[in-house]
Amino acid sequence: MVHLPNSANGALITYLKQKNMLLKSISVLSMILLVTITGYAKVQKKQRLNIETATVFLKGAELTSRASIALDKGENEIMLTNVAGNVSSSSLVIRASNGAVVQSAVFQNNYLEEEIYSPIAKILKDSIQTEKKNKADVAVNIAVLTEQIAVLQDNRKVSGYNTGLTVTELAKMLELVSSKMGSYLTAKNKLEVMKVAIDERIAKLELQLEEEQAKGYQPGGQLLVKFYSKEAVTSDITISYLVPAAGWTPSYDIMADDITSPIKLYYKANVFQNSGVDWNNVRLVLSTGNPVEGAEAPSLLPWYLSFKTPEVIKDLQSSDFSDRLGVTSGLYQMQRGRGIEVGKTVITAEDIKISSEGDRQNSSMDKHTSVDNTGVNTTFEIDLPYTITSDSKEQMVAIKKHLVPATYRYYAAPRKDKDAFLQALITNWENLDLLPGQTNVFYEGTYVGQGYLDMRNVKDTMAISLGRDKKIIVKRERDMKLRSVKYIGSNVKETEGYSITVRNTRKQPINIILMDQLPISNDKDIVVEDRDLLDGEYEETTGYVKWTMSAVENVAKVINFSYTVRYPKGKKVNGL
């Protein structure tokens, strides 16, 4: 048995106590670290959402995503990915099944370096980097050739001054310098030309990249949701929210085979989105609604009249007065009229609409589109899946095809345009759920041009222009036989006359409306009188004259009309 001195025993006891405390500290730190890692892993549990439906409004879109999530008993924090960026937080709706409760949700935009560029911008950036690498390689080769040329030049100088070389050795040296120098200079010139071409390509790519970045690419986001479950379950969740960077515009293909057939009207939508996530094989629902306009009905305030005070009015209109108020009238109107609140990032349970499971009921399908116009807005449910990429590019989506009964007429205003225009007249157009939009017009199987469909000023009958018809010849000429100038008393009377000739070279009779106009006076001393309009319908307030007539094949019809303008002697009248 070994006996240690008392001092050694004390040191050993102290060492053992310190070691024991260290082990306990390590154990405690390990437990804390384990809990922290466990909690962190729990928070970082991710689930990718599957975007199934996109309800696209004229401005904005509502995305509906679904996922099946395994929840533990108690609280669960799930990071949901494949979420759009720049989301309207107040529009968020979360549904969860099997008794799961949504406690809170936080939208987070993802601004990682590799995700802030659009796919096109990424390709351009990679191409620029490749070209810059090629440029660096070319620069190295140019530098090497420059050094080789310099060495040859030095050797040539040495050989010229070195009298110790024989004639044969000197000739070989000069031949070597000559042959190598030529190849080196040629290679260097080619590399310098290559370098200039690379610089030009880099400049073009950087310009394209600048244009692409100016489009305002929106990166995707994430949604951190806290769920609570009384027991471990698998919950089917449905999440919907509104994104502002999306929309659609209507357009139409209008086809007429001849003037006896119905109109074929193809209703199309140009859909675009820049939400930060691609919509892959989604079910599209197009709505004529516009959430940006807001849902609140306007209210009128009392309208007071008072005498003008110039000093006060000037002060009210000055920019200094607006600055003192801290808000301009335009900003005030924007704040009152906005329908989407952007910028709110944290949502509590009070902000989230939670409901039980439920699927939207589809109306009966007519081919691939069903129309629902029973509500405030009309919706078109497209049965075929579509993929709309997040690049702001418009993609054409077919909505409906209508076979519309129509009657046809021609319209001509030869004072402005010498051609006759074919028009299709449509009644009961309200049942077609049309919106103002651009038209592509085809007649007799040929593309004739573009037009615009505008229902805002249409009453009972809609007139759709089908373009010019060169087979209807319209000519307007001044009739010099009717032209006269007379001086009667203190007045001058000028009489003007015109003739309009219509010739139909088609094989069937047509109906045509001819429009012309007479001048109207804003001065009591200028009087338009003695109108001879040959049964034309005259509109007093505008001076328009309309003739409705029919024209058979190859028979010219002529309309003559005249009018007289009376005004005082010694004055000139503008517009005659």
Higher per-residue confidence, 500 vs 11? 500
Higher per-residue confidence, 54 vs 172? 54
Percent of the residues in the chain that have a pLDDT greater than 90, as a whole number? 36
Higher per-residue confidence, 301 vs 284? 284
Residue 413 pLDDT: 95
Strand segments, DSSP code E, in 230-295 are 233-243, 246-256, 263-273, 279-287
The CATH number of domain 119-213 is 3.30.1370: no
Residue 355 pLDDT: 37
Comparing CA positions, the residue from 481, 494, 515, 500 lying closest to residue 563 is 494
pLDDT band at residue 378 using 50, 70 and 90 as cut-offs: confident
pLDDT, tens only, 93-104: 999 999 999 999
For range 519-545, the mean pLDDT: 91
Domain boundaries, the chain: 1-44, 119-213, 405-568
Classified as helix, coil or strand, 460 is coil
Q: What is the largest CA-CA distance in the chain?
A: 156
Is the separation of the CB atoms in 234 and 78 below 8 Å?
no
pLDDT band at residue 129 using 50, 70 and 90 as cut-offs: confident
Percent of the residues in the chain that have a pLDDT greater than 70, as a whole number? 72
For range 45-68, the mean pLDDT: 92
Residue 206 pLDDT: 82
pLDDT band at residue 290 using 50, 70 and 90 as cut-offs: confident
Give pTM, 2 decimals: 0.59
Is the separation of the CB atoms in 74 and 228 below 8 Å?
yes
Model confidence at 516: pLDDT above 90 = yes
Model confidence at 337: pLDDT above 50 = no
Model confidence at 326: pLDDT above 50 = no
Please give the order of strands across the beta sheet that includes 88-96.
Answer: 88-96, 233-243, 61-71, 50-56, 279-287, 379-388, 369-372
pLDDT band at residue 10 using 50, 70 and 90 as cut-offs: low
User: Which token pair is 227?
Assistant: 């769920």
Please state whether beta strands 246-256 and 263-273 pair in parallel, antiparallel, or not at all (unpaired). antiparallel
For range 332-339, the mean pLDDT: 32
pLDDT band at residue 348 using 50, 70 and 90 as cut-offs: very low
Is the separation of the CB atoms in 436 and 398 below 8 Å?
no
Higher per-residue confidence, 44 vs 219? 219
Residue 171 pLDDT: 66
For range 214-235, the mean pLDDT: 82
Long-range contacts of 138-141 (CB under 8 A, 24+ apart): 138/191, 138/194, 138/195, 138/198, 139/195, 141/187, 141/191
The whole-angstrom separation of Cα 500 and Cα 418 is: 11
Average per-residue pLDDT for the chain: 78
Is the separation of the CB atoms in 249 and 276 below 8 Å?
no
Residue 164 pLDDT: 58
Model confidence at 235: pLDDT above 80 = yes
Is the separation of the CB atoms in 443 and 467 below 8 Å?
yes
For range 502-528, the mean pLDDT: 92
pLDDT band at residue 383 using 50, 70 and 90 as cut-offs: confident
Model confidence at 301: pLDDT above 80 = yes
Which stretch, 24-38, 216-230, 355-369, 376-390, has highest mean pLDDT? 376-390
Residue 91: in which H helix or E strand, if any?
Answer: strand 88-96
Residue 474 pLDDT: 95
Long-range contacts of 183-192 (CB under 8 A, 24+ apart): 184/145, 184/148, 184/149, 184/152, 185/149, 187/141, 187/145, 188/142, 188/145, 188/146, 188/149, 191/138, 191/141, 191/142, 191/145, 192/142
Q: What letter represents residue 165's amino acid?
A: L
Residue 26 pLDDT: 52
Comparing CA positions, the residue from 267, 268, 269 lying closest to residue 247 is 269
Residue 148 pLDDT: 77
Which stretch, 1-10, 115-124, 261-270, has highest mean pLDDT? 261-270
Which stretch, 99-103, 350-354, 429-433, has highest mean pLDDT? 99-103
Is the separation of the CB atoms in 80 and 220 below 8 Å?
no
Taking CA atoms, 206 is separated from 111, 197, 201, 422, in Å, by 22, 14, 9, 49
Which of 106-115, 301-310, 389-398, 563-572 shows the lowest mean pLDDT across its residues? 106-115
pLDDT, tens only, 184-201: 788 888 888 888 899 888
For range 445-457, the mean pLDDT: 84
